[in-house]
């Protein structure tokens, strides 16, 4: 592995980024270009030059003080004000050293039953800190902790990870590692790719061979802790018995770094810029800036989902801005014959810590980590929610598959009626067009009012003919939103005081090329590797695949399709983050009717 102090071209490192405060929400939604004054280090990993930066050093953090000791926490004790009391005595082993295949030592905290015996273990893998750390649910400045009551956590759990108070009482060992380079673990922090999954593989195999282990290891956790599961499970560690990825991207370029081919630095800067350790951190924001195409670097960050064959309990939501696409892709692509999907109608943290869902997860792990014949297999293979903004959502509706077997693909054509932009079931004979200045975040909107109850659940695909005026490229954002019978926009509830606009997609038009062999009517597959700039006056067809959604309109309510040059999505965790920066200039022109068959393909569910 070659290492140099060479810095990337500073011109390529300019991007929009907010000044992020302790709650990652202290900035306004205005954008401004800043220069990242960070000394970058280049490491050659498997023939690819990868940018690293120094990790944050916080010597006051408990993660920096090796504390190799064991002690017992007593049943009924609490470890944060108002937190979940321990439901049993817990044996704590702090800073247990685990040696990886290349000799690097990482540190992990273990929480075990005090009684002698052999138990399954559950791992929540991340670089966020096994105790304390850079992120936790108290840091986001939300009045209800993102609807996660304090009593749902015990003060011992990692961020986005299981609570020892619950799981140890039910006969499990909880392993909370600091991944390579995090906290006091040796090495540098890597993000997915080859190194991180191999490290987690080694921890799984170490755990499966301990004297207290029954030889069966499970994985759980949400967001980054779910993403890691897709990557390590593809390596098939022998002692891995089941996974439970709770909302996790599985293709880092397509899902998070450059969804639709549009680079997004702001969120990843807020995450990777906060990771603590003594060494370096793989600089995902810098790699996004310098690798805007899906090249060999990003190919190392696509999970080999088809290699996963262990039982899987997969949880998704329609409203997640990072993980929805990757979670559904994971569900559909893994080879596991024993897999279950549940789609919630809240936020990932709210859903993960909800006691009803924790009990449900335990039934799954009891079946596959303890071999308890508890009837888990009778659980519906798909349970989903349908959003109904302004009315009552449907939750945990049983289905046999996703996409739904009874789904019917329908086309809503863009057109004009009495001079107003509309969506119709028949295409308009005469060609027409509408345009908007890219500075106008409302763009253009086409609408249709339903006269009967209408449910759209599945993938959406927007087929457009577009033209750029005054530029050679376009960053297009498209949204389906709901207006009630009074014309008021109704967002989908996520957590208290925060909503999600609805089904959406985006595309950098120069990366519009499709792979026809891997594309379907509702799911276009784009390689994102061959840019083709626009010529003046050139009108081109594009397909913008939306992540899946389940949403319902009551009679008299309106579906509105908005196309704009501005990202209208607001992160519920960080509402003050500015919109994604774009390359837009001039005007965008949307063509429809006649030879320009612009239309929105929707997943209609009959009999809703």
Residue 239 sits in a domain of what CATH number? 3.40.50.1820
From 361, 379, 397, the end of a domain falls on 379
Nearest to 285 by CA among 272, 301, 298: 272
177 and 298 housed in the same domain: yes
Band of residue 16 on the pLDDT scale cut at 50, 70, 90: very low
pLDDT score recorded for residue 142: 87
Residue 27: is its pLDDT beyond 50?
Answer: no
Band of residue 138 on the pLDDT scale cut at 50, 70, 90: confident
Q: Rounded distance, CA 78 to CA 58, Å? A: 26
pLDDT score recorded for residue 458: 99
Q: In degrees rounded to 5, what are phi and psi of residue 364?
A: -65, -50
pLDDT score recorded for residue 65: 75
Question: What is the DSSP-derived secondary structure letter of residue 277?
Answer: B
* Tokens linked to 466: 């577009």
Residue 236: is its pLDDT beyond 60?
Answer: yes
249 and 100 housed in the same domain: yes
pLDDT score recorded for residue 94: 97
pLDDT score recorded for residue 135: 79
What does the pLDDT look like over 327-358, one tens digit per residue? 999 999 999 999 999 999 999 999 999 999 99
Region of poorest pLDDT, from 29-33, 186-190, 397-401: 29-33
Band of residue 61 on the pLDDT scale cut at 50, 70, 90: low
Region of poorest pLDDT, from 267-276, 332-341, 423-432: 267-276
Percent of the chain scored above 90 by pLDDT? 87
From 336, 362, 379, the end of a domain falls on 379
Nearest to 563 by CA among 433, 472, 450: 433
Start-to-end CA span in the chain (Å): 57
Angle between helix 324-333 and helix 224-233 axes, rounded to 10 deg: 30
pLDDT score recorded for residue 29: 44
425 and 305 housed in the same domain: no
How are beta strands 492-495 and 240-246 bridged, if at all?
A: unpaired
Considering the domain boundaries, does residue 193 fall inside one?
Answer: yes
* Tokens linked to 274: 């906060």
- Which residues span the domain enclosing 328? 70-260+289-379
Check the CA dihedral 457-463-468-471 and report its sign: positive
From 336, 359, 379, the end of a domain falls on 379
436 and 304 housed in the same domain: no
Considering the domain boundaries, does residue 372 fall inside one?
Answer: yes
Percent of the chain scored above 70 by pLDDT? 92
**Bigger pLDDT: 82 vs 66:** 82
Nearest to 146 by CA among 7, 358, 353: 353
Angle, CA 296 vertex, CA 293 and CA 300 arms, to 5°: 110
* Contact predicate 135/128, CB 8 Å: yes
162 and 85 housed in the same domain: yes
CATH number at residue 526: 2.60.120.260
DSSP codes, 117-162: S-EEEEE---SS-SSS-S--TTSS--TTTTT--GGG--SSSPTTS-
482 and 520 housed in the same domain: yes
* Contact predicate 413/559, CB 8 Å: no
Q: Rounded distance, CA 212 to CA 120, Å? A: 8
Q: Rounded distance, CA 442 to CA 562, Å? A: 7
3-state secondary structure 357-383: HHHHHHHHHHHHHCCCCCCHHHCCCEE
Residue 7: is its pLDDT beyond 90?
Answer: no
Considering the domain boundaries, does residue 177 fall inside one?
Answer: yes
Q: Rounded distance, CA 432 to CA 168, Å? A: 65
Considering the domain boundaries, does residue 467 fall inside one?
Answer: yes
Nearest to 313 by CA among 353, 345, 340, 332: 340
pLDDT score recorded for residue 134: 67
* Tokens linked to 218: 């499970």
Q: Rounded distance, CA 191 to CA 351, Å? A: 25
Considering the domain boundaries, does residue 337 fall inside one?
Answer: yes
Check the CA dihedral 55-57-58-63 and report its sign: positive
pLDDT score recorded for residue 1: 43
Question: What is the DSSP-derived secondary structure letter of residue 231?
Answer: H
Q: Rounded distance, CA 13 to CA 566, Å? A: 22
Residues 139-148 have a mean pLDDT of 88
* Tokens linked to 368: 């596959």
338 and 420 housed in the same domain: no
User: What is the number of structural domains in the chain?
Assistant: 2
* Contact predicate 501/478, CB 8 Å: no
**In 272-311, where do the E strands start and end?**
280-282
Region of poorest pLDDT, from 264-268, 437-441, 467-471, 512-516: 264-268
Question: What is the DSSP-derived secondary structure letter of residue 85?
Answer: P
413 and 375 housed in the same domain: no
pLDDT score recorded for residue 542: 99
Residues 80-96 have a mean pLDDT of 97
> What percentage of the chain's residues is helix, strand, coil (to nearest 5)?
20, 35, 50
Residue 25: is its pLDDT beyond 90?
Answer: no
Largest Cα–Cα distance in the chain? Answer: 79
**Bigger pLDDT: 27 vs 506:** 506
pTM exceeds 0.85? yes
Q: Rounded distance, CA 523 to CA 253, Å? A: 17
Considering the domain boundaries, does residue 46 fall inside one?
Answer: no
* Tokens linked to 497: 């005081």
pLDDT score recorded for residue 64: 63
368 and 431 housed in the same domain: no
What does the pLDDT look like over 272-308, one tens digit per residue? 999 999 999 999 999 999 999 999 999 999 999 999 9
Band of residue 137 on the pLDDT scale cut at 50, 70, 90: confident
Residue 34: is its pLDDT beyond 80?
Answer: no
Q: Rounded distance, CA 553 to CA 484, Å? A: 8
215 and 344 housed in the same domain: yes
Considering the domain boundaries, does residue 29 fall inside one?
Answer: no
* Tokens linked to 52: 């690293």
Q: Rounded distance, CA 291 to CA 15, Å? A: 13
* Tokens linked to 442: 């409302």
The DSSP H or E segment spanning 92 is: strand 90-99
Question: Hey, what's the torsion of the CAs at 102, 103, 108, 114, to 10 degrees?
Answer: 110
453 and 375 housed in the same domain: no
424 and 372 housed in the same domain: no
pLDDT score recorded for residue 388: 98
Residue 13: is its pLDDT beyond 70?
Answer: no
Residue 47's contacts (CB-CB under 8 Å, 6 or more residues apart) are: 296
Considering the domain boundaries, does residue 163 fall inside one?
Answer: yes
Task: Provide the mean pLDDT of the chain.
Answer: 93
Residue 31: is its pLDDT beyond 80?
Answer: no
Residues 440-449 have a mean pLDDT of 97
Residue 33: is its pLDDT beyond 60?
Answer: no
């Amino acid at each position: 592995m070659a290492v140099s102090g060479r810095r990337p071209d500073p011109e390529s490192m300019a991007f929009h980024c907010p000044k992020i405060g302790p709650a990652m929400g202290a900035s306004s939604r205005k954008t401004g270009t800043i220069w990242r004054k960070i000394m970058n280090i280049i490491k050659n990993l498997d023939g690819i030059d990868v940018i690293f930066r120094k990790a944050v050093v916080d010597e006051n953090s408990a993660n920096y003080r090796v504390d190799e000791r064991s002690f017992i926490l007593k049943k009924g004790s609490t470890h944060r004000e108002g937190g979940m009391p321990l439901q049993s005595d817990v044996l704590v082993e702090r800073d247990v050293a685990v040696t990886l295949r290349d000799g690097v030592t990482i540190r992990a905290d273990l929480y075990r039953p005090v009684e002698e015996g052999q138990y399954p273990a559950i791992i929540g893998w991340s670089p966020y800190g096994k105790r304390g750390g850079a992120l936790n649910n108290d840091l986001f400045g939300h009045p209800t902790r993102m609807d996660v009551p304090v009593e749902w956590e015990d003060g011992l759990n990692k961020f986005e990870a299981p609570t020892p108070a619950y799981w140890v009482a039910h006969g499990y060992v909880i392993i909370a590692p600091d991944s390579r380079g995090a906290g006091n673990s040796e090495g540098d922090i890597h993000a997915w790719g080859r190194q991180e999954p191999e490290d987690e593989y080694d921890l799984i195999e170490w755990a499966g061979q301990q004297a207290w282990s029954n030889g069966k290891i499970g994985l759980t956790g949400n967001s980054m802790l779910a993403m890691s599961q897709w990557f390590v499970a593809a390596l098939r560690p022998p002692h891995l018995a089941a996974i439970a990825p709770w909302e996790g991207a599985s293709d880092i370029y397509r899902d998070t770094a450059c969804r639709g081919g549009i680079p997004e630095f702001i969120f990843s800067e807020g995450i990777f810029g906060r990771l603590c350790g003594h060494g370096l951190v793989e600089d995902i924001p810098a790699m996004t800036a310098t690798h805007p195409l899906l090249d060999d670097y990003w190919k190392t960050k696509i999970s080999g989902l088809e290699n996963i064959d262990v039982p899987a309990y997969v949880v998704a939501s329609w409203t997640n801005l990072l993980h929805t696409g990757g979670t559904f892709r994971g569900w559909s692509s893994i080879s596991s014959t024993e897999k279950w999907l549940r789609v919630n109608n809240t936020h990932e943290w709210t859903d993960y810590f909800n006691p009803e869902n924790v009990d449900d997860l335990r039934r799954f792990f009891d079946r596959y980590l303890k071999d308890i014949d508890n009837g888990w297999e009778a659980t519906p293979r798909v349970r989903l929610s349908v959003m109904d903004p302004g009315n009552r959502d449907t939750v945990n509706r049983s289905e046999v598959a996703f996409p739904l077997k009874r789904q019917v693909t329908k086309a809503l054509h863009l057109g004009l009626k009495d001079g107003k932009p509309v969506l119709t079931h028949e295409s308009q004979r005469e060609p027409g067009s509408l345009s908007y200045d890219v500075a106008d975040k409302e763009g253009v909107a086409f609408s249709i009012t339903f006269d009967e109850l209408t449910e759209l659940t599945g993938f959406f695909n927007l087929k457009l003919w577009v033209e750029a005026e005054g530029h050679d490229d376009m960053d297009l954002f498209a949204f389906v939103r709901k207006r009630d019978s009074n014309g008021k926009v109704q967002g989908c509830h996520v957590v208290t005081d925060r909503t999600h606009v609805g089904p959406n997609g985006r595309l950098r038009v120069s990366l519009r090329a499709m792979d026809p062999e891997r594309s379907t009517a509702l799911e276009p597959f784009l390689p994102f590797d061959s840019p083709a700039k626009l010529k003046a006056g050139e009108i081109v067809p594009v397909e913008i695949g939306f992540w899946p959604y389940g949403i319902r309109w009551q009679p008299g309510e309106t579906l509105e399709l908005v196309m704009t040059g501005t990202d209208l999505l607001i992160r519920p965790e960080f509402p003050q983050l500015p919109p994604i920066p774009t390359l837009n200039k001039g005007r965008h022109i949307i063509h429809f009717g006649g030879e320009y068959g612009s239309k929105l393909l929707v997943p209609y569910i009959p009999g809703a």
